[in-house]
Chain A
Amino acid sequence: DSGVTQTPKHLITATGQRVTLRCSPRSGDLSVYWYQQSLDQGLQFLIQYYNGEERAKGNILERFSAQQFPDLHSELNLSSLELGDSALYFCASSAGGLYPYEQYFGPGTRLTVT
């Protein structure tokens, strides 16, 4: 158990809909990262937050957004969903953002768009 929790575990929704994925980092960790894993693209970094502020952006679509709240939990919002958004979404946390601390991953949310 990494100490990172993600909810829900599974999500099935229709095209065009909007969903929110939630992540609670390990106790004391300030950085949260979101990754997407699809069959054809592998694990892709989406976005990082450090202590409530956006720190780095990867291949995140404009339809996707994220935020980190004062209690350090984070949410990833996916809107106007398409079939190709079906994937595993992982959240990871690390102690800080100014040094390459190791990242600890949650169990993921499996999103299926029908």
Chain B
Amino acid sequence: DAKTTQPTSMDCAEGRAANLPCNHSTISGNEYVYWYRQIHSQGPQYIIHGLKNNETNEMASLIITEDRKSSTLILPHATLRDTAVYYCIVRGANSGYALNFGKGTSLLVTP
């Protein structure tokens, strides 16, 4: 599975958009980009995933570059409850679609 690179930490003011970047330059054609988050010691929570096209759901938007080498997760109006570690995961069939969590980005949303 392709490796991902994310910033260690980011801050965001409450009510503003949080843009979390992820690099996955070795991604292959059949691998998906997934985003999960983990609020302190709780079970990870699925946010969104995509293959090539940009995706949006009630939680967030996912923007994938045309060459698929990077992506950005956008939380449009961050709240204090969005403070969490966000994981960008590239996932394919080789590992049975298991999730390979890295270190993620620790997002702190401040009042």
Contacts and interface: CB of A to CB of B under 8 A. Distances in A.
Contact of B96 (A48, A105, A108): A48
B34 interface: yes
A10 to B, nearest CB: 12
B15 interface: no
A105 B101 contact: no
Interface string A18-59: 000000000000000101000000111100101000011010
B32 A107 contact: no
A104 to B, nearest CB: 6
A48 B45 contact: no
A94 B92 CA distance: 15
A40 B93 CA distance: 27
A92 B97 CA distance: 12
B98 A88 contact: no
Contact of B43 (A42, A56, A90, A100): A90
Contacts of A56: 95-98
A103 B46 contact: yes
Contacts of A80: none
A58 B98 contact: yes
Contact of B102 (A35, A42, A55): A42
A37 B61 CA distance: 27
A88 B42 CA distance: 9
Interface string A88-114: 101010100101111111111000000
A15 interface: no
Contacts of A42: 101-103
Contact of B98 (A45, A99, A102): A45
B101 A43 contact: yes
Interface string B32-74: 1010001001111110010000000000000000000000000
Interface of B: 32, 34, 38, 41-46, 49, 87, 91-93, 95-103
Interface of A: 2, 4, 33, 35, 42-45, 48, 50, 55-56, 58, 88, 90, 92, 94, 97, 99-108
